[in-house]
Structure 1
Amino acid sequence: MKLAFPRLLAAGLLVLAATACGTSDADAGSGTLRIGVIGSGVGNKLNGAVGFLSERGGLLPELKAAGVTKIQVATFPNGPDLNQALAGGSLDLATYGDTPALVARGKGLPTRLIGLSQINLDAAVVARKGGPTSLRELAGKRIGVQVGSYIHRYLLAALQQAGVKPAQIIHMYTPAIVAALDKGSIDAGALVSADRYAEEQKGFKAIDVASRDHPDVLGTSATVVTQKYLDAHPAIVRAWQGAQVKAVRTAKADWPAYTAFAARVGGYRPEVTLKTTLPAQLPDEPFPARGRTLLEGTKTFLVQQKLVAEDFPLDSWIAPGAKA
């Protein structure tokens, strides 16, 4: 069974295609690296292991060899929103979900893949109170999800595997999904593991969990650089990969401090972050085998859904000089 992505996403992709040749106003020699990330907590701040390294003053020294003297961060609620900024030329580098990154590449956005910053990212379908108790009971129901995200890819794959066709898949950001579940105005919402855990603390129930029920569709987080920035700063690839590896080692060496940072930046209660932030999600190398397998699976699914018009080898997307 093929499940079509909502028209809203298609419209957003048309805008992406129309702006893909936009130019950057930034001075290539300014030394400022403009980074886009996904977040809902503290605004315009690097998150993940690299953010932890940056907070400790360790990121800029790692990027000095690539000519980076300053970092400018922009936070976005969702991958398609970040894609618009990439396409418009206001970002040089971005770390975000594999699904929007692959869709952008499939639509012709000139990015190159530097590495995978996170792997095995979990998600779940949470039902309203007194609502569906299984995926099968979502037939003919309304489901909220951040369209275009890795959570959306998981939801579609889970519904497809269960042979379920909902009445409507509604594009909603996470706060709106949580509010709609509280009101009972949607039957279920697809959420990241931290939000799932927070909802379970309020008495809601996850009726499907990616890591438990569909481990082949766990998400990854990709770091990409624009071709324009790469052409002007080819050293950024190895510099960023080195910074990412150092950041992961730093985080794993002081896990309590890292999870405290993740809770603060992500806007979650510490116990939620401790429950849902796992060392196994931070790879010790740019392209771990597990991450490549998940990324390849996501790409195949997106090709089947016709969101990536033509299949392509992942190696053709990886930036020149990257340690693959």
Structure 2
Amino acid sequence: MFNRLLRTAFALTLITTAISCSHDDGADGYTLRIGATSVTGTPAGSLGWGDRQGILAEQLKSAGVSKIEYSFFQSGSDVASALFAGAIDVAAIGDNPALRARSRDPKVVLLSLDSINGDNQLIGTKGGPTDIRGLIGKTITAPQGTIRDRTARQLIEAAGLTGQIQVRDVPTPESIAGLSSGQIDATIVGGASAVELQEKGFPVIDSLARHGFGSTGANIALSSFTEAHPGFREAWQQAVTAVNRDITENYDDYLRWVADTDGTKFEYVQKSTRVEEFNTEPFPDAGLAQLQAAYDFLNADGSFDHEYSVREWAGAKP
């Protein structure tokens, strides 16, 4: 409970700071406020690469963006809250919080997908079960409302074990610490952290990829913003796809930058990243299929306030 209060206070502090920043339109354009998650306090992933290479700033000039400011949060749901609070203009988050945000308010616009084919692993404690059936009667930890939480539930459902394995709401850093001490049975981890744990002898019990599942990165805004800035959605899509194209063309450089930024080993990033994650069109068929699958799961789970069409949200005709 104390940790959750700390996270909430941290998010509210960032929201207050972001709201206090000016966002005036003028002859020289306007400042675009982007919210995202980051453990380093700097733009991460493809967003960070686009910022570092100057691609985002260059591509968004045509939409009147003269400056980009970032606010960083501990979870995608915190970023979505900042969007609703008017603290940011664009939320770069995972599909879970994006889908939930749209179910809450039809004025949430899906700008683009910035990544597809994301994977997460179910990692067990050393000496513990190596098959998900070995977790019957035990618990899996994952931050509630996140892609990792959905991963846990999807893997449990895929194994036909719904109701037989508990999913507990525990932040990832605490989960990894508990895994190391043997106090946690299993947790959901992605990226270089999952590879590092595997290298240290923690078993990979299951993963999204083994079942043909995947996650996407979604960029959302409110219709009040896109209506006030005609052409922004198209410019944003061009920017995102230009960034991803640059990543695919400079792949090893990108991986080294991620390793340096995150303070991890290059080989961990290399093993946990695939070039197929970086879509070079705003709504590729594979990404839309993964977004639809996530929607279907969350909807069946009773996670939504209102139902809607994913394809229409992405701009497809009814």
Matched residue count: 298
SS at match of 2:115: strand
Q: TM-score normalized by structure 2? A: 0.87
Greater relative contact order (Cα < 8 A, sep 6+): 1
Unmatched segments (≥5 aa) in structure 2:
8-18
SS at match of 1:75: strand
Alpha-carbon offset, residue 166 of structure 1: 4.7
Residues 220-271 of structure 1 show CA distances to partners (whole Å, capped at 9, x for unaligned) of: 1111112222121122111111111211121111111111122233343221
SS at match of 2:70: strand
What is aligned with 2:15?
none
* Cα distance in 1, alignment partners of residues 263 and 104 from structure 2: 33
What is aligned with 1:126?
123
What is aligned with 1:17?
none
1:177 equivalent in alignment to 2:192: no
Instruction: Decide which moves more: 167-176 or 63-72.
Output: 167-176
User: Are the structure 2 counterparts of residues 154 and 110 from structure 1 closer, same or farther at C-alpha, using a change threshold of 3 Å?
Assistant: same
* Cα distance in 2, alignment partners of residues 172 and 81 from structure 1: 16
* Cα distance in 2, alignment partners of residues 70 and 27 from structure 1: 10
Which of residues 45, 49, 57 is equivalent to 2:46?
49
* Cα distance in 2, alignment partners of residues 126 and 149 from structure 1: 17
Which of residues 234, 237, 241 is equivalent to 2:237?
241
1:252 equivalent in alignment to 2:248: yes
Unmatched segments (≥5 aa) in structure 1:
1-8, 13-23
Which of residues 188, 204, 220 is equivalent to 2:202?
204
SS at match of 2:92: strand
What is aligned with 1:140?
137
Alpha-carbon offset, residue 167 of structure 1: 5.5
What is aligned with 1:70?
67
Alpha-carbon offset, residue 182 of structure 1: 0.7
What is aligned with 2:12?
none
Alpha-carbon offset, residue 101 of structure 1: 0.6
Alpha carbons 1:181, 1:187 under 8 Å: kept: yes
1:117 equivalent in alignment to 2:91: no
What is aligned with 1:15?
none
* Cα distance in 2, alignment partners of residues 35 and 81 from structure 1: 13
* Cα distance in 1, alignment partners of residues 44 and 99 from structure 2: 21
Residues 134-165 of structure 1 show CA distances to partners (whole Å, capped at 9, x for unaligned) of: 11121211221122111211210110121223
Alpha-carbon offset, residue 91 of structure 1: 1.2
Which of residues 221, 244, 265 is equivalent to 2:261?
265
SS at match of 1:133: coil
* Cα distance in 1, alignment partners of residues 251 and 77 from structure 2: 31
AA matched with 1:169: V
Q: TM-score normalized by structure 1? A: 0.85
1:103 equivalent in alignment to 2:130: no
1:316 equivalent in alignment to 2:312: yes
